[in-house]
Every structure is written in structure tokens, then in C-alpha cells.
Amino acid sequence: MIEVCVDSVESAVAAERGGAGRVELSSALLEGGVTPSAGLIELARGRTSIGLHVMVRPRGGDFCYTQEEFETMKRDIVAAQKLGADGVALGILQPDGSVDTARTRQLVQLARHLDVTFHRAFDMASDFFRALEDICSTGANRILTSGGERTALRGADRIAHVVREARGRVVIMAGGGIDGGNAASIMEQTGVREVHAGLRSSVLSPMLHRNPEISMGRSAGDEYERFQVLEESVRKLHRAVAPARI
């Protein structure tokens, strides 16, 4: 299974055409991804037929949420389900870096008709293998991890260890810097059968008139650069992992 992280309808369509089996739909990927709008979810669902998982993350930053943010997450899960999502990606930690099992379990139960991925908040946990057991106890279906490293390639040994410790109780999906050049090696080293990839390419803005002195949140002038998933990038990844799919 190839899952591609996307933040637009165009990228979702490109991912499907390139051979992805699922997309994780987010907004604000420069913040690591937050919950996308209802309009984006609805349109992406209408334009694609592959699996659609929605990021449920109320803000960027850490994964320790207030009660108001937790209530927001619950409402976003309900909305995503109504809009046709097949799953959600979420993660909540306690201040000490342990998994917030009580609130995670509540979200999993609320999303009982959806597939639930505990995202890379797992990589920020204080104890990997305690976190694994805690997530398994919540009923989540999947854990996304880079092995606690910046990339899945660097964290391959720990991902392999997590796969062994999981013993099939939860799917382990590798993510973090995965592309057509390293995916097959990561799958071979870790034993994972699912990979999560960004595959974003820089796309120039169509704007002819520009004011490089003003910033709307990024560095001055960076508003004229955006990122998009290209079909060929996904196709290259699809070809790379094809032998492992046999």
C-alpha cells in the first residue's frame, strides 16, 4: 500500500493516477499538516476513488491538546465521516511524552466506522515500546513512524523492531523521506507493507504581479512558491515497490 500525503485536490488526483492506494489529506503541510477544510475533503472525495484519510490535528506544534482542541478533534472526525472519508490520522500525547490513551480511545471509538492511523506523534513519544502497547490498547488500526529519526531510512532498524513487537496487532507504516529511490530498501530492511510519502515538488506561482517585500506568514516572497504532488513522482515510487507487492 502506498499512501501519499496531499494538501490539494490536484495532488490527490495525481496520487491516484500515479498508482497510490490511499491519500492522507491535510492542510498547512509546512506546519506538518493540520485538519483540512470541509470543502477540500468533499471535493477530494468527489474527484478520487482510492482511500481517503483525513488528518485530524487542530493546530501545528506539539501533540498535547487542551480540552477545547480535543473537542475540535471530535467534531472534525464526525465531519470527515459525513463527507465520505475512509479514515483519519490523529495522535495525542501527555506532557511526559506518553500516549494519551484515554482520549485516543475516545477518538477511536467515535471513528468506529473509519480506519484510524496514529500518526508521527508516535515518533515524539518518550518510550517507543510503551507507546506501541498503549496505541494497541486503544483499538487504532495503524501507526505511522520514521523510527524516531528524521527519515525512515535512518530509523529503519527501530521500525523493524517495532514491526516485530507489534506482532500483527496493528499495522506499522513507514514514513519520512520515502521516495522511489529508497522505498524498496526501507521495505526490505523493516518488513513493512505500507509506506507513506510526501513526494512534493515545487510549483511556481502563476502570478505576474508580485510584491516580494510583503510576507503573509512565510519569508518575504515565498508566497510565490507552492508545492504539489506530481503523478510521475508517485508512478516512480509505485514502480520501485512493485516487486515487494508480488
Give me the mean pLDDT over the 29-47 stretch: 94
Q: Is the pLDDT of residue 205 over 90?
A: no
CA-wise closest residue to 53 among 31, 21, 29: 21
Q: Is the pLDDT of residue 245 over 60?
A: no
Over its C-alpha atoms, the chain yields an Rg (Å, rounded) of 18
Give me the mean pLDDT over the 35-57 stretch: 98
Q: In the predicted model, what is the mean pLDDT of the chain?
A: 93
Q: Is the pLDDT of residue 160 over 90?
A: yes
Number of H helices, E strands in the chain: 8, 10
User: What digits encode the pLDDT tens for the residues 58-87?
Assistant: 999 999 999 999 999 999 999 999 999 999
Q: Is the pLDDT of residue 220 over 70?
A: no
The residue ranges of every structural domain in the chain are: 2-245
Distance CA 39, CA 51 (A): 18
Contact 143, 173 (CB under 8 A): yes
Q: Is the pLDDT of residue 158 over 90?
A: yes
Give me the mean pLDDT over the 47-53 stretch: 98
pLDDT band at residue 135 using 50, 70 and 90 as cut-offs? very high
Buried b (16+ CB within 10 A) or exposed e, 130-153: ebbebbbebebbbbbbbbbbebbb
Q: According to the model, what pLDDT value does residue 219 have?
A: 57
Q: According to the model, what pLDDT value does residue 217 have?
A: 62
Q: According to the model, what pLDDT value does residue 211 have?
A: 80
Residue positions counted in the chain: 246
Q: Is the pLDDT of residue 243 over 80?
A: no
Give me the mean pLDDT over the 184-213 stretch: 89
**Fold of domain 2-245:** TIM Barrel (3.20.20)
pLDDT band at residue 203 using 50, 70 and 90 as cut-offs? confident
Q: Is the pLDDT of residue 46 over 90?
A: yes
The answer to which of 20-34, 128-142, 217-231 has the lowest mean pLDDT is: 217-231
Give me the mean pLDDT over the 188-207 stretch: 90
Contact 82, 89 (CB under 8 A): no
pLDDT band at residue 187 using 50, 70 and 90 as cut-offs? very high
Contact 244, 238 (CB under 8 A): no
